[in-house]
A and B are shown apart, each in its own frame.
Chain A
Amino acid sequence: MSEVPAGTNGAKQVLGADDVRRAITRMAHEIIERNRGLDGVVLLGVQRGGVWLAEALAASIGDIDREAHVPWGSLDVSLYRDDIGLRPVSPGAVSEIPFDLGGATVVIVDDVLYTGRTVRAAFDAIGDYGRPEMMQLAVMVDRGHRQLPIRPDFVGRNLPTSTDEVVVVTETGVAIS
């Protein structure tokens, strides 16, 4: 989900930089715990907001388990959305997936989970690169209002919102406006 920059009119800070850092560390522990040995685990950040989080999670996993090597990449889902033609398109950077997804455990990483439609598009996009053994979902913020039967495996913070609010997630914090 692309949102307006933080700090704009009447933004309410919900999490600070320390909270975000702690949430990343906790999610990294959960990913390790769920996937014993981390065999075949790769992180895929959804363009644009999920990319920095995928990189941060990979670094955090490396800090916790020095033996582990968890590769991370980025995924652009704009050609797979179900609202093509209904709203302006603004693709992020080109997908960079420097590893094979066939047989992998792919952890899809995004900043905000909202309707679930971006995640659905990610399923289709990933399928075009190979057939993963499993897909999991990690998000910094779950703000509710799902329109599809999709549930995250790893959550930084559950944040009840109304649909007219905007949620902004960065390394320095989470804000609602």
Chain B
Amino acid sequence: MKHLLAIDELDVADIHRLLELTDHMVEVNQRPNPKVPALRGRTVCNLFFEVSTRTRLSFETATRRLSGDVMTFTVSESSVNKGESLRDTVETVAAMGVDAFVIRHRSSGAPWQACRWTTAAVINAGDGWHAHPTQALLDAYTVRTELGRTGGFDGLRLAIVGDVKHSRVARSVGQIFAALGADVVLVAPATLLPVVAEHATSDRLDDIIGDVDVLYLLRMQRERMSEALVPNLHEYTERFGLTAERAARLSDGALVMHPGPMNRGVEITVDPAELPGSVIGHQVANGVAVRMAVLFDLLGSGGVA
């Protein structure tokens, strides 16, 4: 594996390999000194053209725990504001000598473009509405460990609820769970479902909530209202929010997940800390371990000089 760009570019064996490698990284992270020398001398550059403090910190932490060096480049402090192109930025930083780029960009496809301008490994940390593969890997890892499903997700029922149409998280999460054998259903108002859906769809959360093993809530973005795709947030919560009444209808052992940051009172009105099935905190912790596994797989496996 040379790059990690999208889940649908991986085969199932790649996914299992990365999830198994993550077990090793979790063990490292549990030690008093959570650091190993695996990527000594390697440099990872985070190029964030869209603000994401969580994802950026997660990648920085992952790199440091493998003893790699980190360079971070965020748009607010960069010359992109002066009109420098993505290509100029990638080529300039590449000339300083980096082994991997972690790229977050508002335009779909930007990480694929970057691959043409550098010999370094490229990791997609979210591009437009398109893909966010490390989020999908950490979510799959979380379910794998929480439910003890190391062999795969055959028969597991996953509902992804929210603005599926504009969500790179929904796309990547749906792909990884389906690849591992789960039955995926996308739940949203018709205006927020993709025109061509890769999975089953529903616009009635109440019809399915009692049957799911994993309820995956997406962040409901306020700007969707100004685009008149949702009448108002209150109505959204009425039909699609995780309220106390709906939480009571979840089956025993069902997991509740959210990629963060949460809009409390919109997609979720109960306190996740009081939900027995909430694994939202574990998702964040697993994010560091999964990103360590991805970095080690790309930079340490002999595929990259």
A interface residues, Cβ below 8 angstroms from B: 76, 78-80, 84-89, 91, 94-95, 124, 128-129
Report chain B residues within 8 Å CB of A76: 24
Interface footprint category on B: 20 to 34
Closest to A78 in B: B24
The answer, yes or no, to whether B261 is at the interface (CB within 8 Å) is no
Report chain B residues within 8 Å CB of A94: 23-24, 26-27
Give the docked Cα–Cα distance between A87 and B305 (Å). Answer: 11
B38-A80 in contact (CB<8A): yes
Give the docked Cα–Cα distance between A86 and B301 (Å). Answer: 7
B37-A79 in contact (CB<8A): yes
- A-B interface contact total, Cβ < 8 Å: 46
Give the docked Cα–Cα distance between A138 and B178 (Å). Answer: 46
Could you list 19 A-B pairs, sorted by A, with CB under 8 Å?
Answer: A76-B24, A78-B24, A79-B28, A79-B36, A79-B37, A80-B36, A85-B42, A85-B299, A85-B301, A85-B302, A86-B302, A91-B21, A91-B24, A94-B24, A94-B27, A95-B24, A95-B27, A128-B35, A128-B36
B interface residues, Cβ below 8 angstroms from A: 20-21, 23-24, 26-28, 31, 33, 35-39, 42, 66, 296-297, 299-302, 304-305
Report chain B residues within 8 Å CB of A87: 302
Give the docked Cα–Cα distance between A86 and B300 (Å). Answer: 8
Contact of A79 among B23, B296, B301 (CB under 8 A): B296
B301-A89 in contact (CB<8A): yes
Report chain A residues within 8 Å CB of B24: 76, 78-79, 91, 94-95
Closest to A96 in B: B27
Give the docked Cα–Cα distance between A80 and B27 (Å). Answer: 14
Report chain B residues within 8 Å CB of A79: 24, 28, 36-38, 66, 296
Report chain B residues within 8 Å CB of A124: 37
B37-A89 in contact (CB<8A): no
10 nearest interchain CB pairs?
A79-B36, A79-B38, A84-B300, A89-B301, A94-B27, A87-B302, A94-B23, A88-B302, A91-B24, A94-B24
